[in-house]
Amino acid sequence: MARILFIGRLEVRPMGRKLVCCVVQTLSMEEKEKNKTTTTLEYKYPQSKCLPPFSSPIVTIIPISTYNYVRMKEHIAIYAGSFDPITSGHLDVIARARGMFDRIIVGIGHNPNKVSLFPFDERVEIATTLIDELVAKNTNLAPVSVEQYGGLTVDFAKNSGGSALLRGIRNVTDLAMETQLAITNRQVADMETVFIVTGEAYAFTSSSLIRQIAALGGNVERLDSIIPPLVISRIKKLQEDPTSSLHSLGRDAHME
């Protein structure tokens, strides 16, 4: 049975006081035709002790608009990427976004044809650990979950109920590239993008540069200002393993 969402203006007189409020209720088409412009709302679980449970007719019923529905639904940000490795810059973007959205989903993309620093499952595990630590520092802000996906990012965002894609901007080069991508996503998939400028300390943080330094045997401990300690320890283990795929990623930009 199809059900339609309505907004109603409700007038009641609990404890002798006049109260006018807005309510949201779902009605089936049959209920709508039967009740016309009047229906009854059962209010059994009041949020305030001064307002007891009541049953009262709704004065008016106004069909909800698409605009109002977008405003009322949960706002979910999708922060997608390879996170290979996840950096302090990534965590900074997530921390800033937690005060802007109801929920954040960090999507870690899987590309089997790409040689990565960390295996896919380990990237998910590292990101989950670090993000859980971040959320635990302030539980009053939006919750953050980590999910894995394959295929197009916009498809993952839509299937996850995302309101917008979240992107971190470090400099004008990022802005130019991300703006073009944002316009494409809006035209093709009707998905908006929200840009967050990273903290000044992470303006030049780059996962690809970190991979190159690690692959060429650089001292990753000197990158502790832009990489979490957990990531540093995992990279050092890869450097010590001669069979690791890390060693195939090494290339010096000065020699190209």
Q: Please, which pLDDT band fits residue 255 given cuts at 50, 70 and 90?
A: very low
Strands 76-81, 103-109: parallel, antiparallel or unpaired by DSSP?
parallel
207 is catalytic: yes
Q: Please, which pLDDT band fits residue 53 given cuts at 50, 70 and 90?
A: low
Question: How does the average pLDDT of the chain come out, rounded?
Answer: 78
Query: Which helix (H) or strand (E) is 103 found in, with range?
Result: strand 103-109
Catalytic pick among 82, 88, 116, 207: 207
Given this model, what pLDDT does residue 73 score?
A: 66
Given this model, what pLDDT does residue 181 score?
A: 94
Strands 192-197, 164-169: parallel, antiparallel or unpaired by DSSP?
parallel
| pTM of the full structure | 0.69
Tens of pLDDT, residue by residue over 73-109, are 689 999 999 999 999 999 999 999 999 999 999 999 9
DSSP category for residue 202: G
In the three-class reduction of DSSP (H, G, I as helix; E, B as strand; rest coil), residue 75 is classed as coil
List Cβ neighbours of 110 (8 Å cut-off, separation of 6 or more).
Answer: 120, 148, 149, 150
Given this model, what pLDDT does residue 158 score?
A: 92
Given this model, what pLDDT does residue 241 score?
A: 87
Tens of pLDDT, residue by residue over 32-47, are 445 444 454 444 444 4
Q: Please, which pLDDT band fits residue 246 given cuts at 50, 70 and 90?
A: confident
Catalytic pick among 90, 98, 103, 234: 90
Mean pLDDT of 133-139: 95
What's 74-249's CATH class? alpha beta
Whether residue 162 is predicted with pLDDT greater than 70 in this model: the reply is yes
| Structure-model confidence comparison of residues 178 and 31, the more confident one | 178
Tens of pLDDT, residue by residue over 168-190, are 999 888 999 999 999 999 998 99
For residue 28, the cross-strand partners are: 3
Given this model, what pLDDT does residue 206 score?
A: 87
Catalytic pick among 103, 123, 167, 170: 170
88 is catalytic: no
90 is catalytic: yes
Task: Compute the distance between CA of residue 79 and CA of residue 162 in angstroms, rounded to an integer.
Answer: 10
Q: Please, which pLDDT band fits residue 127 given cuts at 50, 70 and 90?
A: very high
Catalytic pick among 114, 137, 248, 254: 114
Domain boundaries along the sequence of the chain: 3-70, 74-249
Whether residue 123 is predicted with pLDDT greater than 60 in this model: the reply is yes
254 is catalytic: no
